[in-house]
A and B are shown apart, each in its own frame.
Chain A
Amino acid sequence: MAPLPGFGMLKGLWVTFRRLVDTYRVDLRWRGKRYRSSEGLQDRLSYKTRGIFTVQYPEEKIPPPENFRYVPFLVYDELEGGERKLRCTACGMCARVCPPQCIWITRAVDPETNKPLSQPAEFVIEADVCMNCGLCAEFCPFDAIQMDHNYELASRDRWSDLRFDLKKLSKPASYHAAIHPLRDQQETLERAGKKEEGAA
């Protein structure tokens, strides 16, 4: 209970005043290095932050954490001689598990024997339908499809830009290792383990 009428509001206004003073006080303590610097960004993102905590996009961008998921991409291994080998074997697991069913895969067929090959002839993801759930990357048995971190996909025409075909989706394994270091490490260990089992 407030002792005097109006006292409750004054208590509230004091909170706002403290916060206002904080915004200047913290900036002064950092002596102008709080913005446009990575230590400043870390401070503004931590749970201990006080004062202004605006992240000034597009000049500074919050680095997405490893688990961040947006639209998927396909991984290709770079072999010696510059050859690119797509990890995808067109097994169809991602197409089967995708909730809005936005993955369309046509398995390649050997033109002479008419037998199916373990690679996709066509692979389309409707990026405008994709709900960024990550189930495709979670259940891919070959670590071939992973979730990208790129969110800057705004475009003026959805029919030309937001249908990702095989060419647009393929990215190198080095990119995957750069954005998902821990996951890549774990996957490499598992693949090595499976190879040993297969050899033994």
Chain B
Amino acid sequence: MTARIALLVLLLVAAVTGRLAAHHSFAAEFDATKAIRVTGTLAKVEWTNPHTYFYVDVKDESGAVVRWACESGAPGALSRRGFKRSLLKLGDTLIVDGYRAKNGANLMDARRVTLPDGQILSGASAGDGGPQ
């Protein structure tokens, strides 16, 4: 039930803001049936067009470190919504919620990013037809 409420609220937010901007369709790259959460240490940030990427190192069950690439909107779009480059600090533990790439790579669409202080940021590439 909580998940349904979350989805409803997110859809409402998307409807109210009516944002649109997209470099490609969400559905061309990501699988909307594979909602995932990745928790790891921020290792690298690429504040670039057409998408920003940040990389988090995650320990798997065997203790090995696996690096996940987290794709977000363009720098300008993130910056305008208050998601500034300076909020991402190397070494921080981030919780990233989103959808995995259709090709099975360790690449995800970072729709929601939770910082160590609990601040929640929207990393979505708005207007790509993906879940908001």
Our verdict on whether A and B bind, yes or no, reads no
